[in-house]
Amino acid sequence: MSDGQTPQHPQPADDNPYQRASAGWTGTESHHTQPLPPAYGAQSGFPVQQPAQTPPRERAGRGRAGLVAAVVATSLLVGGGAGIGGAAWWDATQDGSGGSSQTSPVSTSPVASQSQTPAADGSVESVAQKVLPSVVKIDVTTAQGGGSGSGIVLTADGTILTNNHVVEGAEAGSLTVSFDDGTSAEAEVLGTDPLTDTAVIKAAGVSDLTPATIGKSANLGVGESVVAIGSPFGLDATVTSGIVSALDRPVNVGSDDQGNSTTYPAIQTDAAINPGNSGGPLVDLTGAVIGINSSIRTAASQSPYGGQSEAGSIGLGFAIPIDEVMPIVDQMAAGETPTHARLGVQVGDPQTGEGAGAVVSEVTPGSTADKAGLDSGSVVTKVDDQRITGADSLVATIRSYRPGDSVTLTWTDSGGEEQSAELVLDSDATQG
C-alpha cells in the first residue's frame, strides 16, 4: 500500500456509517447518495448534503380545483355565519336578562418600531456577513450524473479549495462555480488529493473575489462555537452554527484506487452539515476558516418508496482541520503532486480484549519504522502525546504530520515489552 500505514480492516461501503457530505448525484431516474469509496501545519501562501425522490403529486384539474375552492369558500362562509350568530345570541340573552349591552374594550398587541443595528462582533450574524462572500457553490457533471458541493475562495483570481469527492470524476468543462453576488463561471481542476479528500480548482475569468481568512485549527478547544457555511441539498449560502464536539476524531470514509485509506483526524461538530456542505468552510467566531466540512455520521433509514433514504444531519458532522492540509493545498495550487508523511507499516485493530493500539501486520523494509525496530505483532500505543486507539487513529495521526517531522513513537513489541523511540517520518514521494 502506497501510504505505508494502511488499516487492514476495510468496511463494506454499505456498512460505513460515515457519509461524505456532497449533494446527491442526479441520474436519469432518481437522486441517490454517492457511494462511499471502498494531515500538516506549515505556513501557507494564502491569506491568514438530496432526499429520496418522492412520487410526483397528482395535479388537480380545473374541475377539482373549482370544487375545492367551492368547499373552502363554503366552509369560510359557514364559519363566519356561525361566528356572527353566536355573538348576536350572546348579546340578546344579556340584554334580555338585564345584563349590560356594553362590549368589553378590545386590547391589541403594541407594534414595536425596530431599527436595524450592526451585527455584534463575534456573533453568528457578523460571521456570516464576513464569510459568505468567500463561499461558493460548485455544480459538477460526471459520467454517472450530476451533483453539487461547496468551496472556499483562496485568491481573488479564482483559486478555490474544496473536497476531492466533490470534483472526483468531473468531466472536462463540467464544473460551474456560483458566487455570492449571483454570478457564475466555469472552472478547472488544478489538483486533487484523495488521501486527505481535498482538491483545488480555478474559476475562469474572475479577478475581484473575496478570499477567505485562513485560521489555525490547532487553537480550537472542545465546546468552542463554530459556524458551517455551504450549499446543503443545493441551497446555497446556508449558515448553521454549533460547537466543537470533539477534536482528533479518526474518520475513515473509504480508500483510493490503490487501497490507501482516506482517513483524517477530524473536527467533530454539532453544527448541521448535510449533503452539499462538502468543501465549505467551518469557521470560528472571528470568521477564520479552521476546517473543511467533509462528512457526517448518519442513522440509516429506509425510504417509504423503496431503497435507503438520503443521509441527513443528526448532529454528528466532521471537518478536516485546516492546519493539516494547507501545505498540501499549496502543492496542488502550484501544480505539484501532494506528499504525505509515512511511518512504513500496515496496521489493524486489536482483537477484542487486547486493549487499545494499532497492531502492526507488516513493516516496510528500510522504512523509519523498520529502522526503529518495529516488527510484525508490535502494537503502537502513542505518537508524541496522542494516544492511539486503533488502526484509523494511527493513520489519522501520522497524516497530521509532514514528511521529515520528528515524532516520539511508543509501542509494545511482539514480546510484550514497551519500547519508545524518536524517529523521522518518511515521505510517500520516495516510496518504491
Considering 31, 32, 165, 340, which one is annotated as catalytic? 165
Comparing CA positions, the residue from 341, 340, 218, 237 lying closest to residue 291 is: 218
Catalytic one of 245, 255, 261, 278? 278
| Contact of 88 with 82, CB cutoff 8 Å | no
Catalytic annotation present for 278: yes
Contacts (Cβ under 8 Å, ≥6 apart) of 106: none
Burial of 46 (0-12, 13-18, 19+ CB in 10 A): buried
Q: Which of 3, 139, 197, 256 is catalytic?
A: 197
Per-residue HEC secondary structure of 29-97 comes to: CCEECCCCCCCECCCCCCCCCCCCCCCCCCCCCHHHHHHHHHHHHHHHHHHHHHHHHHHHHHHHHHHHC
Which residues, 6 or more positions from 191, have their beta carbon under 8 angstroms from its beta carbon? 199, 200, 331, 332, 333, 335, 336, 337, 338
Interacting residues of 370 by C-beta distance below 8 A, sequence separation 6+: 344, 363, 364
The verdict on whether 193 is a catalytic residue reads no
Q: Cα 171 from chain centroid?
A: 23
134 catalytic residue (yes or no): no
Catalytic residues: 165, 197, 278
